[in-house]
């Protein structure tokens, strides 16, 4: 798959595709914008106009003039001083997403980096030479980008499959020499919202798959619990107008159409518990929010997020200092989606408890095939509860965190990168919780085979799991099954 960046702006789905291995190309129009912006920076250098990060220092040193002879050193030194990330490395797909978002920002033609910078970044993506980028250490956007940029000058480290290379070695393998950075290029390489935007785009891709699985797995649970389908009647759901509610209701009805188990349970209860009855409302609210977050990320990709921005012409250059590299909207969006996913996974844990709890399930205690000598899913529910609690703590918004940096010059921080990173953690927790529910729902169905047949839609889900994982009889570590089920949810689409 090849994605071409031209007059058409990249979307979050494009960034996610590049993260997954798609090839990114630039059309001639984008290369022309890059070249024009680079010529404007050169003109600024020639005329000696006072411009942040071009002829001055950065941050609290913005009033310190840097002479022309020192401007290349400034660009190089910015990378070294800003590459101070710590902690575990970001995964390959996350770094690819960040690089793709950074290229999209440069291609607007307001940054002023030379085309060779983008050519080298594209070559790294194409050959899957992925810079090592520590996950921690950024209050905004600087450290992650700096670790990626180190490779362009032959420094830093790169992963290529199982190999670890120096930046210089990686460049040599793709037939390139380390770059000598020009004026502003160091600042542009660490600047902007590429990190949080790339991470958010990737999170959207994972979240969409998770939401589809959440609808599917909840249907399998509804069937095992003998749900009362009247609550999901389209006319009843329409009393609360919501595209998300409508979508989830339609999905549940389709999944459960033709279910003998649902037919057999008709009228068994006046109404179900809220963890069953409110699935369209909770899942639907998350889907409505997903659409808003997706629009925010797409808007971020359509935005120039470099400071300063260069415009005008080489004959009449304009340099504009602003705050486009700050992304409060993106931070709020990532925080919001994190809260929604934490809520859905908490509901999943409650459904799981209803399956294993003999006080309400009508099934063998803890779904054990021989209760007493076997514990079944008793402790698996503990794990799900622990993960749900972890996500509840993580759902506290990063966008309201404080922090003052750079000698009072940067005295407001929106923390979009922190918001995006914890969104990924909550997604990981949510996928594992849902995987445990998936296992338990399938296990519940083992005790219902003689009652009535499953719906075709839930049979597909049951069969998908059973192709990989058999029924549980306390005959193996349950964690292995949990990891395998989680892999299904993270790596595959829910079967139709």
- Of 191, 226, 242, the residue at which a domain comes to its end is 191
Query: If you write DSSP's letter for every residue of 453-481 in order, what string do you get?
Result: PPPHHHHHHHHHHHTT-PPP-SSS-HHHH
Same domain (yes/no): 252, 324: yes
Same domain (yes/no): 407, 289: yes
Note whether residue 368 is domain-resident: yes
Note whether residue 407 is domain-resident: yes
The whole-angstrom separation of Cα 339 and Cα 391 is: 8
Q: Helices marked H in 2-156 — which ranges? A: 12-19, 28-47, 71-82, 92-107, 115-126, 142-150
Query: If you write DSSP's letter for every residue of 262-312 in order, what string do you get?
Result: HHHTTTSSSS--HHHHTHHHHHHHHHHHHHHHHHHHHHHHTS---SSEEEE
pLDDT digits (tens, 9 = 90+) for 83-97: 999 999 999 999 999
Note whether residue 496 is domain-resident: no
pLDDT for res 410: 66
pLDDT digits (tens, 9 = 90+) for 268-289: 999 999 999 999 999 999 999 9
Same domain (yes/no): 376, 456: yes
Give 65's DSSP letter.
B
pLDDT for res 73: 82
Q: What is the pTM of this model?
A: 0.94
Same domain (yes/no): 226, 321: yes
pLDDT for res 47: 77
Q: How far apart are the first and last CA of the chain?
A: 24
Three-state secondary structure call for residue 2: strand
pLDDT for res 411: 60
Count of alpha carbons within 13 Å of 21, Cβ hemisphere only? 1
- Of 125, 158, 191, the residue at which a domain comes to its end is 191
Same domain (yes/no): 173, 239: no
Find the helix or strand (DSSP H, E) in which 359 lies: helix 358-361
Note whether residue 467 is domain-resident: yes
Note whether residue 10 is domain-resident: yes
pLDDT for res 57: 61
Domain of 254, CATH number, reads 1.20.200.10
Which tokens sit at 453? 């047949």
Same domain (yes/no): 155, 242: no
Same domain (yes/no): 264, 410: yes
Domain of 178, CATH number, reads 1.10.275.10
The whole-angstrom separation of Cα 90 and Cα 132 is: 7
Same domain (yes/no): 324, 378: yes
Enumerate the active-site residues.
52
Same domain (yes/no): 105, 227: no
Boundaries of domain holding 42: 2-191
Same domain (yes/no): 311, 429: yes
Would strands 309-312 and 130-131 be described as parallel, antiparallel, or unpaired? unpaired
Same domain (yes/no): 147, 69: yes
Note whether residue 61 is domain-resident: yes
Residues (pLDDT < 70) of the chain are: 51, 53, 56-71, 139-141, 403-412
Three-state secondary structure call for residue 216: helix
Give 113's DSSP letter.
-
Note whether residue 204 is domain-resident: yes
Smallest CA-to-CA distance from 464 within 489, 446, 440 is with 489
Same domain (yes/no): 208, 180: no
Number of domains within the chain: 2
Find the helix or strand (DSSP H, E) in which 86 lies: strand 86-89
Three-state secondary structure call for residue 25: strand
The whole-angstrom separation of Cα 121 and Cα 96 is: 10
Note whether residue 277 is domain-resident: yes
- Of 191, 222, 243, the residue at which a domain comes to its end is 191
Distances (CA, A) of 31 to 15, 36, 115, 128: 19, 9, 7, 22
């Amino acid at each position: 798959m090849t994605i071409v960046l031209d007059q058409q702006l990249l979307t979050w789905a494009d960034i996610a595709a590049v993260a997954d291995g798609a090839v990114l190309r630039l059309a001639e129009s984008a290369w022309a914008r890059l070249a024009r912006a680079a010529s404007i920076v050169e003109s600024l250098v020639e005329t000696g106009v006072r411009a942040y990060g071009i002829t001055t220092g950065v941050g609290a040193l913005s009033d310190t003039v840097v002479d022309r002879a020192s401007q290349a050193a400034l660009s190089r030194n910015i990378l070294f001083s800003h590459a101070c990330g710590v902690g575990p490395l970001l995964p390959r797909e996350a770094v690819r997403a960040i690089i793709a978002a950074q290229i999209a920002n440069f291609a607007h033609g307001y940054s002023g980096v030379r085309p060779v910078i983008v050519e080298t970044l594209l070559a790294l993506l194409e050959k899957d030479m992925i810079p090592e980028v520590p996950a921690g250490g950024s209050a905004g956007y600087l450290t992650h980008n700096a670790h990626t940029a180190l490779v362009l000058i032959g420094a830093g480290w790169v992963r290529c499959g199982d190999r670890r290379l120096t930046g210089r070695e990686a460049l040599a393998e793709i037939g390139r020499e380390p770059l000598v950075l020009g004026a502003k290029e160091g600042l542009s390489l660490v600047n902007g919202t590429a990190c949080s935007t790339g991470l958010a785009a990737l999170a959207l891709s994972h979240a969409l798959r998770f939401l589809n699985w959440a609808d599917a797995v909840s249907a399998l649970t509804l069937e095992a619990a003998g749900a009362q389908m009247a609550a999901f009647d389209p006319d009843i759901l329409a009393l609360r107008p919501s595209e998300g509610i409508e979508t989830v209701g339609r999905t549940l009805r389709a999944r459960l159409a033709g279910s003998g188990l649902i037919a057999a349970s008709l009228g068994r209860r006046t109404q179900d518990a809220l963890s069953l009855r409110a699935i369209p409302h909770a899942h639907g609210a998350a889907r409505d929010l997903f659409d808003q977050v997706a629009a925010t990320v797409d808007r971020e990709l359509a935005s120039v997020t470099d400071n300063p921005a260069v415009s005008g012409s080489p004959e009449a250059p304009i340099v504009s200092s602003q705050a486009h590299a700050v992304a409060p909207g993106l931070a709020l969006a990532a925080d919001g989606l994190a809260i929604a996913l934490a809520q859905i996974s908490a509901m999943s844990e409650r459904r799981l408890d209803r399956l294993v709890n003999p006080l309400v399930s009508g099934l063998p205690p803890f779904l054990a095939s021989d209760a007493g000598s076997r514990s079944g899913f008793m402790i698996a529910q503990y794990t799900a509860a622990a993960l749900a609690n972890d996500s509840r703590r993580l759902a506290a918004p990063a966008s309201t965190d404080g922090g003052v940096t750079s000698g009072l010059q940067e005295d407001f921080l929106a923390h979009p990168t922190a918001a995006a990173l914890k969104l990924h953690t909550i997604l990981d927790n949510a996928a594992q919780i849902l995987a445990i529910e998936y296992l338990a729902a399938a296990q519940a169905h083992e005790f219902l085979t003689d009652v009535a047949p499953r719906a075709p839609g839930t049979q597909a889900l049951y069969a998908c799991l059973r192709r990989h994982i058999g029924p549980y009889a306390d005959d193996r570590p349950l964690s292995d099954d949990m990891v395998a089920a989680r892999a299904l949810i993270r790596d595959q689409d829910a079967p139709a």
